[in-house]
Chains A and B, each alone.
Chain A
Amino acid sequence: MAARSAFRRALPWLPRSPVASSLRQAHHVPSQRPFSTSLSASTPNPSSSKDPSVPDYAIPDPSRPTHFGFQTVTEAEKRERVAGVFASVAESYDRMNDLMSFGWHRVWKDHFVASLNPGFSPLGDPPRAPQHILDIAGGTGDIAFRLLHTAHVVNGNPDVRVTMSDINRAMLTVGKHRAARQLPASQQAALSFVEANAEDLTKARPLVPYPPDHSTSPDEYTGSEQPFFDPATATTGIPDASVDLYTVAFGIRNFSNIPAALREARRVLKPGGVFACLEFSKVVSSHPAGALFDAVYKEWSFRAIPLIGQLVAADRDSYQYLVESIARFPSQDEFRDMILDAGFVVAGDGYENLTGGVAAIHKGMKPRE
């Protein structure tokens, strides 16, 4: 129960139809806040953040009572439970990706990152320059972790740092928890988390976990109860020409203004920097096998996925949305042309189809002026 609600809260970009939300209200009124923040942090006092003296509620006390859903538990228990919830969110999220792609998404992500070969640097003169990678719509970290692994381990280049960014603080918080569990310290040190809307990267702020955990002091906690990044809280931004590689995987179709996001990508990239996008795409139906696959895949995605979604996460609408957003996304050629229109140059056709076009990788380079 908690996991399901958390899942929905972690994916709030999913639109809610009136019917769906009223249904949800009916079912979930008692659990609209499945895990509230700790008692203290849930009532942040704006003036207290200016107060230099640390309020006593800011000092973690594992035995202090706090809220978890409707239960009162100790902070220590809550930490554990929150971690548990996030684990199941992430799990549910992975399962969703598996279902959407027949499990292919792992293969595609591996290929995506391998084809970018981050951190590859022939030893030569002048010595290699550090690389900065920006993983947009980074979600729970699937791409960022792979990028770090390839750069640091495969290419043995520690001079690569990754900034993981997402508009959804809850997803990013899951990513941060996962990073803490899965990554070696050196890679964690090279990874940072930033809240931002891909359509306007001039406004950003370092991740304030959502819901806040007790490693965040209430002083820092300026976040609202919204899991979405609020541009009014921005403290920083991604500077012009500061990024070598911009990645976005299974994120761009959710953006409401794709051209704006592409312009921002161009702005933050250095000349010579690469934009790389992995996304569900249009099955190539000119090929007889492709046509068959297309028919089967459409049938599968429109009928089976929402049904399975209902079983897995009791959230048919969300899955329906995902399927429809994939169907609405432009074709390979159209999206390539959008990338060109944003001022990138491409090589070859500008894209590579994966699994007959179920997904595709698009890339563009920011030219020198």
Chain B
Amino acid sequence: MSSPAIPRPASVAAMRRILRPARLPQRPVTATPESCRSVCSGAAATRPGALNASSLRSPPSRARIPRPHLQPAARSYHSHDHPPPPGPFTPAESALLSAAYKRVPEHGFTQEALALGARDAGLLEISPAVFPGDGVFALIRWHLYTQRTALADTVDEVAAGTPAGPAGVAERVERLTWERLRANEAIVGRWQEALAIMAQPSHIPASLGELAQLADDILYLAGDVSVDPSWYTKRASLSAIYAAAELFQTTDTSPGFRETRAFLQRRLAEAAQAGAAVRSVGQWAGFTAGAVVNVLRSKGLRI
């Protein structure tokens, strides 16, 4: 935790294997702790073209690799005090969730979407029962995970024409964050309910984990190379800003979410000025509590 080693968040190590943007600076490879490289394997297995099949669990291709766990040694001072990220999905999960996800705009993150998706995939309505815990939360993780990792595919396009240097980094951070917010478009009407589910105690660690990963990926893709203590503050404040902007977005009716983008830009500018106070977890919890209250109100509860 106190080790000043080069921070190496889980997703990035994996992403680097599939994505080597020539123009973007790389972190020094020598600093990669071996323990981390092994525990981080397999963070990006579901997108087409991702090569990591090592943690897929199916009879023909499985290798019994434990799910990625952050060992204490691998935790640098980006103190992600959360369990491993919702890593790759098994083939069963991918088949069910990819089909169910298409039903989310109409049916929300619900059992209905899962059952209909199962049917669409040529499976049975009972098939989603295979999820050990909560299939609905898995569907939410599917959204978070696929949209986060999809950023890597768009980075060249998104970053095109941005200058080099710190100004360029800031601009790319803004554009990538906006790109991620736009990816909520199809399901934005369902997102407050999803936030309420994410805020359930048993889901908070995984939800916060995804949020931290997102901030981390954005900064990495934007070419942020800082290894000083600001590494942590940047991620924390970007997490908080993203969470706030996303919540704003759930009530934004302006065309093309113009208001949301303006909100995002204001928050980023403030953070740059104020030197970014670190309140990410608290803020996220606060925002999410807000969403929960909204959802309960919409269900007729007087609070």
One of A76-84, A197-205, A287-295, A347-355 at the interface: A347-355
Given contacts A340-B59, A365-B92, A367-B91, contact A348 B125 (CB under 8 A): no
Q: Which chain A residues in 258-316 approach chain B with CB under 8 Å?
A: 270-274, 276
Is A244 interfacial (CB-CB < 8 Å)? yes
The answer on a CB contact under 8 Å between B124 and A273 is yes
| Contact segment of A23-31, A116-124, A218-226 | A116-124
Categorize the interface residue count of chain B. Answer: 20 to 34
Given A121-B115, A363-B132: A272 and B57 within 8 A (CB)? no
User: Do B62 and A368 have beta carbons less than 8 Å apart?
Assistant: no
Asked, given contacts A347-B138, A363-B130, whether A341 binds B125 with beta carbons under 8 Å apart, the answer is no
Would you call A272 and B115 a contact (CB within 8 A)?
no
Beta-carbon contact of B93 and A115 below 8 Å: no
| A residues less than 8 Å from B91 (CB atoms) | 345, 367
What's the nearest-Cβ distance from chain A to residue B96, in Å? 8
Nearest-neighbor residue (CB-CB) of A133 within chain B: B126
Residue among B93, B107, B115, B126 making CB contact with A348, cutoff 8 Å? B93
B241: CB under 8 A from chain A?
no
| Residue interface mask A331-369, B partner, CB < 8 A = 1 | 000000100110101111111100000000101110110
Which residues in chain B, 82-126, are within 8 Å of chain A measured between CB atoms?
89-93, 95-96, 107, 111-112, 115-116, 118-119, 122-126
Does A128 belong to the interface (CB within 8 Å)?
A: yes
Q: Does B129 contact A (CB under 8 A)?
A: yes
Among residues of A, the one whose C-beta sits closest to the C-beta of B135 is A347
Which of A122, A270, A352, A361 is close to B115, meaning CB atoms less than 8 Å apart? Answer: A122
> Does B59 contact A341, Cβ atoms closer than 8 Å?
yes
Q: Are B129 and A122 in contact (CB under 8 A)?
A: no
Q: Judge whether B115 and A364 touch: CB under 8 Å.
A: no
Q: State whether A272 touches B67 (Cβ < 8 A).
A: no
Q: Given A347-B92, A347-B138, A349-B67, is A120 in contact with B125 using a C-beta cutoff of 8 Å?
A: yes
- Measured in the bound complex, the distance between the Cα atoms of B300 and A204 in whole Å is 53
Total interface residues on A, CB under 8 Å, equals 37
CA distance A348 to B91 in the complex (A): 10
**Can you name the residue of chain B whose Cβ is closest to the Cβ of A342?**
B59
> Which residues on the A side are within 8 Å of B89 (C-beta)?
347
CB A273 to nearest CB in B, in angstroms, measures 6
B111-154 CB mask vs A (1 if < 8 Å, else 0) is: 11001101100111111011111010010000000000000000
A131 CB-CB contact with B under 8 Å? yes
Judge if B299 is at the interface, Cβ distance under 8 Å.
no
Binding site for A on B (CB under 8 A): 57-59, 62, 64, 67, 89-93, 95-96, 107, 111-112, 115-116, 118-119, 122-127, 129-133, 135, 138
**Interface residues in chain A, defined as those with a beta carbon under 8 Å from any beta carbon in chain B:** 115-118, 120-122, 124, 128-129, 131, 244-245, 270-274, 276, 337, 340-341, 343, 345-352, 361, 363-365, 367-368
* 27 residue pairs A–B, Cβ–Cβ below 8 Å: A116-B126, A118-B126, A118-B129, A121-B115, A122-B116, A124-B116, A129-B124, A244-B124, A244-B125, A244-B126, A271-B123, A272-B123, A274-B129, A340-B62, A345-B57, A345-B58, A345-B59, A345-B90, A345-B91, A345-B92, A346-B57, A347-B92, A347-B132, A363-B131, A363-B132, A365-B123, A367-B58
